């Protein structure tokens, strides 16, 4: 038996934010990030709509990118004091992910962060509050997923929390919020979205319910992402829907080792002054992982089906896989994303010498590889790497060398 879970309601299209007026309850806490939602007036709109619906509203503001365990615990304390019956998270993936984890701690104050990270081990929620997610970026799709990513900065590791319990009750997918994204964010979130869709399609947990969502998302991203990056706002609207479809697919089909590697490298070199931004990490690693997974015949066939759906050409599955890899590398070029960690600048742009020194990468490689293999996303990858294979794969991602194993 398999399960397919989505939010009960998804409000979409321009003006969808007004759906907040129809909510029923007494107290709502609104979780938000560093300022763009306030700067562009969307936070004030959300609060006014909730107040119009009769809510007393409290804000949890300034949730940082790559939210920390400490931020989660502090926000949960605020919720325990305020006792909301609705948690509304507005912004990019970071405030929504943080709010999901706060929700768990609010409902179960004794739970530890380590217990939260037990895959599909969260106790039943909604005893105290329901959850609404409002996305302002077009990539993570956390507004419809059973996942949250929280960073333990002491360990330099991003941990995925995975459980259908944290799938939001309501998602609001209003493309007007995505118009505020800066160009670099459009690129990174867009590549995160296509990685979600491709990994979902080849995942060992894919099914008839997830495949159409993944394929249609890939097609929409193929036709929309680069134009959205270059300022076409109609294509920006299309990307906001596409990433949500990709989220519906991967929340149920799960992901693979592109995400395992991105989670475990993202904060691994923070002491050298920067993170490897999640979407950029996915963009760099995806072509290498496709080459690795395509050594599995079933995965190769499914990558070939993706290439056919994208009309990339090719006669054999090997040719189709090569064309898919070339297409994705070309998309990285169009979006000004590096091809390797060794060329990844502290500002995320391509450079001859990246911010991660070679000797530091090699020193930390065994631990990063072991952590990636242990990541929650690895189990549904079509090919499970050994420690040696994961180290070799990460080296290919550092040096931009061919995957031939």
Distance CA 30, CA 115 (A): 25
Q: How confident is the model at residue 357 (pLDDT cuts 50, 70, 90)?
A: very high
Element of type H or E holding 11? strand 9-12
Distance CA 86, CA 49 (A): 13
Predicted local confidence at residue 299, as pLDDT: 98
Q: How confident is the model at residue 158 (pLDDT cuts 50, 70, 90)?
A: confident
Whether the Cβ atoms of residue 134 and residue 90 lie closer than 8 Å to each other: yes
DSSP string, 172-186: EE-HHHHTT--HHHH
Predicted local confidence at residue 381, as pLDDT: 98
Q: How confident is the model at residue 353 (pLDDT cuts 50, 70, 90)?
A: very high
Predicted local confidence at residue 119, as pLDDT: 87
Distance CA 359, CA 356 (A): 9
Whether the Cβ atoms of residue 251 and residue 120 lie closer than 8 Å to each other: no
Report the pLDDT averaged over residues 110-133.
95
Q: How confident is the model at residue 155 (pLDDT cuts 50, 70, 90)?
A: confident
| 3-state SS, residue 6 | coil
Q: Of 354, 372, 374, which Cα lies nearest the Cα of 364?
A: 372
Strand 9-12 relative to strand 130-135, pairing: unpaired
Distance CA 329, CA 326 (A): 5
Residue-level length of the chain: 405
Mean pLDDT of the chain: 97
Q: Of 97, 137, 168, which Cα lies nearest the Cα of 242?
A: 137
Query: Does 35 score more than 90 pLDDT?
Result: no
Distance CA 287, CA 329 (A): 7
Report the pLDDT averaged over residues 192-206.
98
Distance CA 64, CA 116 (A): 20
Per residue in 278-298, pLDDT tens?
A: 999 999 999 999 999 999 999
Distance CA 151, CA 340 (A): 23
How many helices (H) and strands (E) the chain has is answered by 15, 8
Report the pLDDT averaged over residues 141-169.
92
Q: Of 325, 356, 327, which Cα lies nearest the Cα of 340?
A: 356
Q: How confident is the model at residue 380 (pLDDT cuts 50, 70, 90)?
A: very high
Query: Does 157 score more than 90 pLDDT?
Result: no
Predicted local confidence at residue 260, as pLDDT: 97
Q: Of 230, 255, 294, which Cα lies nearest the Cα of 377?
A: 255
Name residues whose C-beta falls within 8 Å of residue 71's C-beta, 6 or more positions apart in sequence. 63, 64, 98
DSSP state of 344: B
Per residue in 19-30, pLDDT tens?
A: 999 999 999 999
Q: Of 222, 3, 192, 21, which Cα lies nearest the Cα of 97?
A: 192
- Token pair of 70, please? 């400490």
CA distances to 224, 244, 399 from 238, rounded to whole Å, are: 7, 10, 34
Query: Does 156 score more than 90 pLDDT?
Result: no
Distance CA 391, CA 207 (A): 30
Predicted local confidence at residue 67, as pLDDT: 94
CA distances to 196, 258, 263, 279, 288 from 373, rounded to whole Å, are: 18, 11, 11, 19, 16
> Around Cβ 214, how many Cβ atoms within 10 Å?
27
Q: How far out from the chain centre does Cα 72 lie?
A: 18
Per residue in 204-262, pLDDT tens?
A: 999 999 999 999 999 999 999 999 999 999 999 999 999 999 999 999 999 999 999 99
- Token pair of 229, please? 């990056």
Q: How confident is the model at residue 47 (pLDDT cuts 50, 70, 90)?
A: very high
Element of type H or E holding 396? helix 387-399
φ, ψ for residue 12, nearest 5 deg? -140, 160
Distance CA 310, CA 72 (A): 40
Query: Does 154 score more than 90 pLDDT?
Result: no
Report the predicted TM-score, pTM, of the whole model to 2 decimal places: 0.95
Whether the Cβ atoms of residue 150 and residue 95 lie closer than 8 Å to each other: no
Q: How confident is the model at residue 356 (pLDDT cuts 50, 70, 90)?
A: very high
Distance CA 401, CA 399 (A): 6
Q: Of 92, 30, 96, which Cα lies nearest the Cα of 60?
A: 30
């Amino acid at each position: 038996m398999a399960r397919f879970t989505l939010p009960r309601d998804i409000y979409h299209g321009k003006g969808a934010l007004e759906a907040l007026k129809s909510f029923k309850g007494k107290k709502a806490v609104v979780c938000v990030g560093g300022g763009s939602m306030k700067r562009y007036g969307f936070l004030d709109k959300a609060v006014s709509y909730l107040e119009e619906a009769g809510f007393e509203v409290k804000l949890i503001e300034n949730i940082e990118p790559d939210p920390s365990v400490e931020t989660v615990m502090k926000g949960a304390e605020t919720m325990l004091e305020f006792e909301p019956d609705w948690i509304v998270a507005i912004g990019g993936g970071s405030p929504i992910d943080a709010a999901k984890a706060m929700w768990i701690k609010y409902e179960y104050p004794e739970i530890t962060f380590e217990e939260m990270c037990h895959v599909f081990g969260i106790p039943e929620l909604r005893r105290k509050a329901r959850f609404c997610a409002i996305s302002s970026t077009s990539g993570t799709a956390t507004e419809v997923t059973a996942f949250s990513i929280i960073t333990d900065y002491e360990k330099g590791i991003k941990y995925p929390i995975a459980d259908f319990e944290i799938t939001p009750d309501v998602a609001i997918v209003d493309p007007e919020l995505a118009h505020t994204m800066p160009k670099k964010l459009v690129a990174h979130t867009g590549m995160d979205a296509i990685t979600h869709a491709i990994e979902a399609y080849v995942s060992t947990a894919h099914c008839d319910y997830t495949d159409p969502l993944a394929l249609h998302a890939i097609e929409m991203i193929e036709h929309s992402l680069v134009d959205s990056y270059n300022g076409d706002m109609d294509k920006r609207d299309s990307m906001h829907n596409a990433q949500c479809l990709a989220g519906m697919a991967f929340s149920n089909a799960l992901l693979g080792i592109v995400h395992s590697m991105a989670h475990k490298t993202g904060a691994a070199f923070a002491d050298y002054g920067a993170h490897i931004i999640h979407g950029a990490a996915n963009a760099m690693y995806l072509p290498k992982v496709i080459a690795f997974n395509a050594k599995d015949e079933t995965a190769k066939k499914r990558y070939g089906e993706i290439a056919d759906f994208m009309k990339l050409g090719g006669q054999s599955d090997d040719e189709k896989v090569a064309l898919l890899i070339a297409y994705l590398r070309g998309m990285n070029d169009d979006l000004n994303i590096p091809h390797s960690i060794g060329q990844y600048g502290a500002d995320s742009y391509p450079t001859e010498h990246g911010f991660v020194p070679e000797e530091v990468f090699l020193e930390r490689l065994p631990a990063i590889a072991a952590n990636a293999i242990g990541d929650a996303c690895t189990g549904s990858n079509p090919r499970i790497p050994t420690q040696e294979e994961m180290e070799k794969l990460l080296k290919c991602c550092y040096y931009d060398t061919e995957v031939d194993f």
